[in-house]
A and B are shown apart, each in its own frame.
Chain A
Amino acid sequence: MSERINIQKTYKLFIDGKFPRTESGRYIKWVDSKESTLVNICRGSRKDFRNAMVAARKASCGWANRTAYNRTQILYRIGEMLEGRRDQFMAELVLQGLTKKQATAEIDSSIDRLIYYAGWADKFQQVFSRVNPVSLPYFNFTVPEATGVVGAIAPDDTSLLGLVSIIAPVIAGGNAIVILASESHPLCSITFAEVLQTSDVPGGVVNILTGYRSELIEHFSSHMDVNAIIYCGNEGSDRKLVETNAALNVKRVVHFPEQNWSKDQHQSPYHILKCQETKTTWHPVGV
């Protein structure tokens, strides 16, 4: 028998709970730092983004209407699944330039972050809701509600932790998300999609694209059906573009500079609040 040949994984996109190739048929060659491994990453297009948006919009209502407790269970489940896939993420993170120690730390933090937001998913509404004193015969109360579909440009310098840190609070809050994975460290994003797909996350709630920021950021920011946009990065011109295009339909804009995502400041219930809308109800009483 001849020597066995390794079967390489095809990295595809994650749209509507499925793994399609990019409709454009374009690929980006990704080579590891030692130039020993070559991977073809899908170069997602405007139309891939459009398809992902359709899927996200369709899924968003059902996801928001699930009980908060159920969202908690599912987020916890993502953490469980990630735990079981450690080796695969370890290999990919090392391939992308981390030491084994750094990779272990990144996977630990990612799992912990998912569990952290799983815990908050059924509690933040109680913490951030309030009863407002009004001088009229009304019971007046305020609750945060999901904003809808969030478009996100993931942090570029981390493959897994940045992605998880953006996705977890957004879906914990009942939103659907279309996220563009790190351009320079894309490997873990699609493997993480496999984790999501086996974690009872309904198809379309999380959609992950790979490709060039410079090509897609225009479409992420100008799509009228995106309710909030998260931009991670330091590029001034990108930020300006996002802010300008967001004004088209008054998207919520959230910005994170490139930074160390393992810090504690990156897990906070206030991050969930960033993609929430405030609903105040006037309920007549005592008449």
Chain B
Amino acid sequence: MSPIFATPIDQIGAQERVSRLSSRSIKKESKVQALHLALNMIDLTTLEGKDSPGKVKQLCYKASHLHDSFPGLPNVAAICVYPTMVPIAKKSLEGTGINVASVATAFPSGMADLQAKLDEVTSVVDAGADEVDMVISRGKFLRGEYQYVSDEIAKVKEACGDAHLKVILETGELVTLDNVRLASDLAMDAGADFIKTSTGKVSPAATPPVVLTMLEAIRDFQAKTGKKIGMKPAGGIGTAKQAIQYLVMIKETLGEDWLSPNLFRFGASSLANDILMQILKQSTGNYQSKDYFSID
């Protein structure tokens, strides 16, 4: 594949469209509904070098007990951890129906040889990961080695077996929206089940124009092949307001089908608490304080 065949992106147009969608006012009942939905779409994430088994267990507990004093809340969709933490997360989440997602392929840089990456993927899948979040080789991509990147994704997909594959494009390093579009097309063609914006380790992470570009790529891919690919913005999404803006964007770009954790996820750590605070604000009428929610 060469960039000549890529779909060019109108950057100004994307920004304009995004700012129009972001100014939608979602209030009262529809807000509460959107907040519940967003909560159910979260991949509760901890990806720190200092992660400990205790921290992962705590996060897994939180995944199914978001705020016990307020009944009727959904669980999050998945827990996202480093490969070494997969067995611990898997055990802690037994019987909850919450998936375990593991990052793999030398996350976050992707700087390793292909065999090492494939071995890592196989090992996390064997350890019980339901979803694998891989990173693409951005260096190769930017040097124009698209075939390499594409083959790599295809091989990782093969190594995943039944596990769902999310492909992280790390859009903060791809520089232009044209590159984002090209990388999205490439990942979907190579067999990605989800495309994901960022690792959360590079700034900027998920931005609305980037997400819009990726959503449009998904829409065109569906029109072409009939396959529905999922989307996961990650990094920098910390407030309920941003989450709702993204929900508006999906609804307007891809339609109702994507308003489900099967096809849309938020990769976030602090988002859950902000959404909980908003839900309680809607229900009690009082602005909430972080003091009364779990530490994330």
Contacts and interface: CB of A to CB of B under 8 A. Distances in A.
B25 to A, nearest CB: 13
B287 A50 contact: yes
Interface residues on A, range: 10 to 19
B289 interface: yes
A224 B285 contact: no
Interface in B46-81: none
Contacts of A248: 286
Interface string B117-159: 0000000000000000000000000000000000000000000
Nearest to B286: A222
Interface in A212-248: 219, 222-225, 248
Interface string B262-296: 00000000000000000000000111111110000
A223 B288 CA distance: 7
A53 interface: yes
Contact of B285 (A222, A225, A249): A222
A222 B289 CA distance: 11
Nearest to A46: B287
Contacts of B292: 224, 249
Contacts of B286: 222-224, 248
Contacts of A225: 287-291
Interface in A178-225: 219, 222-225
A161 B73 CA distance: 49
Interface string A25-67: 0000000000000000000000000100100010000000000
A224 B283 CA distance: 14
Contacts of A249: 289, 291-292
A15 to B, nearest CB: 15
Nearest to A223: B287
A155 B287 CA distance: 25
Contacts of A219: 287
A57 B277 CA distance: 15
Contacts of B287: 50, 53, 219, 222-225
A83 B287 CA distance: 38
A55 B139 CA distance: 40
A162 to B, nearest CB: 26
A57 B290 CA distance: 10
A244 to B, nearest CB: 12
Nearest to B288: A224
A126 to B, nearest CB: 29
B274 to A, nearest CB: 11
A152 to B, nearest CB: 17
A50 B239 CA distance: 14
A274 B288 CA distance: 24
Most buried by A among B287, B290, B291, B292: B287
Nearest to A245: B286
Interface string B187-216: 000000000000000000000000000000
A50 B291 CA distance: 16
A50 to B, nearest CB: 6
A50 B288 CA distance: 10
A63 B162 CA distance: 52
Nearest to A54: B287
Nearest to B280: A224
A84 B233 CA distance: 52
Nearest to A49: B287
B31 to A, nearest CB: 14
A138 to B, nearest CB: 28
Contacts of B289: 223-225, 249
Nearest to B287: A223
A249 to B, nearest CB: 7
A38 B95 CA distance: 68
B197 to A, nearest CB: 26
A224 B289 CA distance: 5
B55 to A, nearest CB: 22
B139 to A, nearest CB: 37
Nearest to A53: B287
A224 B291 CA distance: 9
Contacts of A50: 287
Contacts of B291: 224-225, 249
Nearest to A249: B289
A225 B290 CA distance: 8
A212 B288 CA distance: 23
A222 B285 CA distance: 9
A214 B251 CA distance: 41
A162 B31 CA distance: 41
- Tell which of A53, A224, A225, A248 has the most Cβ of chain B within 10 Å: A224
Contacts of A224: 286-289, 291-292
A236 to B, nearest CB: 23
A97 B98 CA distance: 67
A222 to B, nearest CB: 5
A137 B288 CA distance: 41
10 contacts: A57-B290, A219-B287, A222-B285, A222-B286, A224-B287, A224-B289, A224-B292, A225-B287, A225-B288, A249-B289
Interface of A: 50, 53, 57, 219, 222-225, 248-249
Interface of B: 285-292
Given A225-B291, A248-B286, 5 more contacts: A222-B285, A222-B287, A224-B288, A224-B291, A249-B291
